[in-house]
Amino acid sequence: MATQRSGTLLTYEDYCNMPDDERYQLIDGELIIIATPSVVHQGTSRNISTPLDIFVKANRLGEMYYAPFDVVLSNINVVQPDILFVSRERSHILTDAGISGAPDLVVEILSPSTAALDKTRKRELYARYRVPEYWQVDTDDFSVVVLILAGADYEVAGVYGLGETLVSPLLKGFRLDVDDIFAV
């Protein structure tokens, strides 16, 4: 993961004018280049997104989206979460270019190049923009931390490891065996 630090804050317009040969995120005006996901990362994403998508569609709750997909939180904050959910009630934030506003659920799959960013700056960013539920999926220790917004920060709703079943406070009735998440 490389970052641009010129002292000048970049904006969404600058972000849109970047070359298409890389994946980028913009956090507080800082351009961050994102590495291509690994095979494990992609498999983990599929193992989460498929059952989530089936659950969301079966219950007509809203829509699921997957990276690369722009989430414009502000003029200087544009992220590409690995997986995200937007409820029917908040479908007004959907645009032709992506999402303009905070999704209801964001899932970040930690990788060596993004783990620190996902656990700190992006956690703070998602809390600041009021994302109700945030999952941090760790493919190294086979765990998922489910965070729910409580005031200005997140509180841990659950930490799930192998042999356990993840539940979502936001998506009532959704359950996912952690072993299935990491069966890559």
pLDDT tens-digit series, residues 146-158:
999 999 999 999 9
- pLDDT given for residue 115 in this prediction: 84
Of 3-12, 33-42, 77-86, 113-122, where does the model show the most confidence? 77-86
* Residue 2 scores a pLDDT above 70: no
Only one residue has tokens 């699921």, namely: 64
- CA–CA separation, 89 and 96 (whole Å): 18
Q: Enumerate residues 6+ apart whose C-beta is below 8 A from 65.
A: 83, 84, 85, 86, 99, 103
The fourth-level CATH superfamily of domain 37-181 is: tt1808, chain A (3.90.1570.10)
* Residue 22 scores a pLDDT above 90: no
Q: Which one has a higher pLDDT value, 88 or 34?
A: 88
**Residues of the chain with pLDDT > 90: what percent?**
73
Record the pTM. Answer: 0.90
- pLDDT given for residue 23 in this prediction: 85
- For 41, the enclosing helix (H) or strand (E) is helix 39-58
Domain ranges of the chain: 37-181
Q: Is 92 helix (H, G, I), strand (E, B) or coil?
A: helix
